[in-house]
Amino acid sequence: MQDSMLANVLAAYLDSIKEREFDLPLATLLRASGFYDIHFTHGNVEFGKDFIAKSDENGVTFQYSFQSKAGDVSQPDWRNNIMAQMLDSLLSELSHPNFNKDAPHRTVLVITGKMLGNAALSLQDLNRTIEQTYHKSPILLWDRETLISMLETHGLGGVYDANASGFLNYGNFYQLYGKALGGHISQREIEEHSRQWLDESIPRYKTLLCSTIESSIFATQCKVKGFTYEAIFANLTLIRTIMHQIHTSNKQDEVEQLREVYSQAISNLKEILHEYLTDVKSILDKADNNLSSITPGSNSIIFYSILCARIMEVAGCLYFLEVEQSERDTIISFLVSFISNEPGCAHIPSDYYAISLVLPVLSLCSSGHRNIAEQLLHSSTVWLCDRYQDGFGLAEISAEPYDEIATLFGYPFDFIKVQPRKGSLAASIICDLSAFIAKAELYTNIVNDFKAIKIAPQYWQVPDTASLFILDGEDIISYPNIDYSDCRPSAIMGHK
């Protein structure tokens, strides 16, 4: 029986996406529906086939090809654009090397909308011609209603019915969806919800489809509301799920299929990272490259530092995902300018944001801007030491936003009760980065400064197990106070 509320959510999602935005959900839907040997073949020489896949039915292996379109299909759309593609898909045997020309072939038209007007009649007429003239199987249609039923059966509904906490997780999904519609969802809430996608008690194909659909729904709504960073996080949580399945799989064919899905997810991530940076550049151009002047609201002091951390992190991530040198040069040019102009890049607001230093620092070193990276580490050290010497330190990695603000700004006020901290993940990150990329003198100065203020660098040792993807993995070892050497170890003294 179909859940009408879930059907409405899925319908709204299908109505809102563009054509290529359904590629990844379709790939995981095929897998969850029992198809295998799935390959994304969209491109200039696709021969009417966006995907190919195989299915075993009653002892016979069928070779399927899929053409995917977004939205409704009118008769002009069908006649002028789609009909020829479907015939090409049906009649041409040219495709991916894994396309089995000897297997019985079935062609499917996938649309996220409906066939309008006479388009449905035109498809019926074409199918008669296909059967009578070409003696081939008719074109199958998966339209909006078909997709909703399949997504519910094999994805969201199937996952939530399969475990004991299903009702709670189901309710949490609707709650987050409502927050996304209202424009007040956070990346932390998305990440926390996504941890259930790593539940190994649920069939892997179900969790993969569920994570793909839910992350796509969250990302789509976040982008509509202008929350592009949160949409990035939704994509990242999906990538974590895919990587977890690759890491824990013991089947080579499954790993190969998951790697194709991973490649599609990375492509989607790159697109939204570019979108975020494009928006940032546009805003900065209008503000004469002064981010603090346009940071809105009464919480602008903390929000400015958070924005700096996000922008650095996005630029550093995109740098390493890009393969074209010209694109990398453009990203680094922006990153150098941004870090040089915005002092907030060194003002880490809490341990939760400390990781935002890693990718920009490494990308700067990779591109020959080691001096900018060293200056960022130096400024971050000064900021961190001041917070611990004159204030309460920085909030821990798992702290709530209120605690982050209270720890950062509450020290002058007696009525704000905050326990001063000595532990610091940020200190560990800065020490590790300086050991890896900085001059020996800078590393020594940073370590000595932290020791003088009695900051305790914290570290979590994660083994090469599934705990790589789980924040509270049972075999993760916590070290509350790392005793860094005063001098940089000789094994990493390549740069003096």
Cβ atoms of 139 and 108 within 8 Å: the answer is yes
Cα(68)–Cα(52) distance, rounded to whole angstroms? Answer: 11
pLDDT for position 300: 85
User: Read out DSSP for 136-197?
Assistant: -PPPEEE-HHHHHHHHIIIIIHHHHTSSTTHHHHHHHHHHHHHHHHHT---HHHHHHHHGGG
Span 226-249, pLDDT tens digits? 999 999 999 999 999 999 999 999
pLDDT for position 46: 62
Question: Is residue 5 very low, low, confident or very high in pLDDT (cuts 50, 70, 90)?
Answer: confident
pLDDT for position 290: 87
pLDDT at residue 494 is higher than 50: no
The helix/strand/coil state of 458 is coil
Span 24-63, pLDDT tens digits? 999 999 999 999 999 998 876 667 889 999 999 999 999 9
How large is the average pLDDT for residues 305-309?
Answer: 96
Q: What angle do CA 206, 207, 213 make, to 5 degrees?
A: 90
Cα(37)–Cα(253) distance, rounded to whole angstroms? Answer: 8
Least confident of 64-68, 136-140, 298-302, 474-478: 298-302
Span 359-385, pLDDT tens digits? 999 999 999 999 999 999 999 999 999
Q: What angle do CA 235, 230, 331 make, to 5 degrees?
A: 75
Helices (H), 183-251: 187-194, 204-224, 228-248
Q: How many helices (H) and strands (E) does the chain have?
A: 19, 9
Residues 6+ apart with CB under 8 A from 140: 106, 107, 108, 109
In our burial notation (b when 16+ CB lie closer than 10 A, e otherwise), range 235-256 reads: bbbbbbbbebbbeeeeeeebee
**Average pLDDT value over all residues in the chain:** 91
Span 251-283, pLDDT tens digits? 999 999 999 999 999 999 999 999 999 999 999
Cα(67)–Cα(62) distance, rounded to whole angstroms? Answer: 16
Cβ atoms of 496 and 440 within 8 Å: the answer is yes
Amino acid, single-letter form, for residue 152: E
Domains of the chain: 1-161 (3.40.91.30), 163-286 (no CATH), 297-492 (no CATH)
Question: Is residue 18 very low, low, confident or very high in pLDDT (cuts 50, 70, 90)?
Answer: confident
pTM for the structure as a whole = 0.91
Least confident of 154-163, 249-258, 327-336: 154-163
Least confident of 195-199, 221-225, 301-305, 437-441: 437-441
